[in-house]
Amino acid sequence: MCCRAAQISEMEEFFALYGVEDSSSVLAPRFNISPGMEMSVLTGNKIEPMLWGKLANARSETVYEKFSFKESIKSRRCIIPVNAFYEWKNKQPYCFMNIDKSIISLAGIWNRDGFSVLTTDPNETMRPIHNRMPVILDSKKWEQWLDQKTQVQEILQPASDDLLRAWPVTPQMNKTEWDQPECFKEIAVTGSLF
């Protein structure tokens, strides 16, 4: 699953990363975004604000079969750029970030109700915390993912085991209104983490 994320980069960083210049508007940076909130999303050749839909996640293994998603996977794919995402284990939130702190490109699909993040099996970093993880697109796969004419099932795989770092963060993350730089701050937890 993926139910919280952070988008704190300036829009110019997204433009440079994806080679686009068009944007319909600019959203303020956020450290704690949840479904029902807007995020900046790459849809082809532009970045636009889009609602994170009620169907927040879509299983990549069944996305071509499910009525709610099968049209979107064929014709409405997007990339959700994030600086981090969060997952929970036993009510304890964890922050996941690229080891080099670069922007993470999540695979998404969208419709009139907003976007959904594609999920897949966990990699070794995610497995001790959750049994699903978002599909993270390598830069070599961006063009293929956004090309609505291509089949993409083979790229909907777990990220490499050496891509992400995870650490426990404040339980304040449970409050959707908590939106502070402290969202990234590592905390000590008692007992075994995993």
Residue type, 2: C
* 108-161 pLDDT, tens digit each: 999 999 999 999 999 999 999 999 999 999 999 999 999 988 889 999 999 999
Give how far Cα 54 sits from Cα of 36, 96, 136, 173, 179, Å: 7, 22, 21, 19, 21
Tokens of 29: 């940076």
Q: CA 95, CA 126: separation in Å to the nearest integer?
A: 11
**81, 146, 66, 72: which is closest to 112 by C-alpha?**
72
CATH fourth-level superfamily of 4-184? SOS response associated peptidase-like (3.90.1680.10)
**Residue 12 — pLDDT band, cuts 50, 70, 90?**
confident
Give the 3-state secondary structure of residue 103.
coil
- What does the radius of gyration of the chain's CA atoms come to, in whole angstroms? 16
| Cα–Cα distance for residue pair 54/62, rounded to 1 Å | 18
CA–CA separation, 149 and 111 (whole Å) = 17
| Range 166-190 burial, b when 16+ CB lie within 10 A, else e | bebbbeebeeeeebeeebbeeeeee
H/E stretch holding 174: none
Please report the DSSP string for 150-165 in residue order. S--GGG--PPPTTSEE
pLDDT single digits (tens) 28-76: 999 999 999 999 999 988 899 999 999 999 999 999 999 999 999 999 9
Q: 108, 7 in Cβ contact below 8 A?
A: no
pTM score over 0.75: yes
Residue 27 in contact with residue 40, Cβ under 8 Å?
yes
Residue 30: which region, alpha, beta or left (left: phi > 0; alpha: psi -120 to 50)? beta
How many residues are present in the chain?
Answer: 194
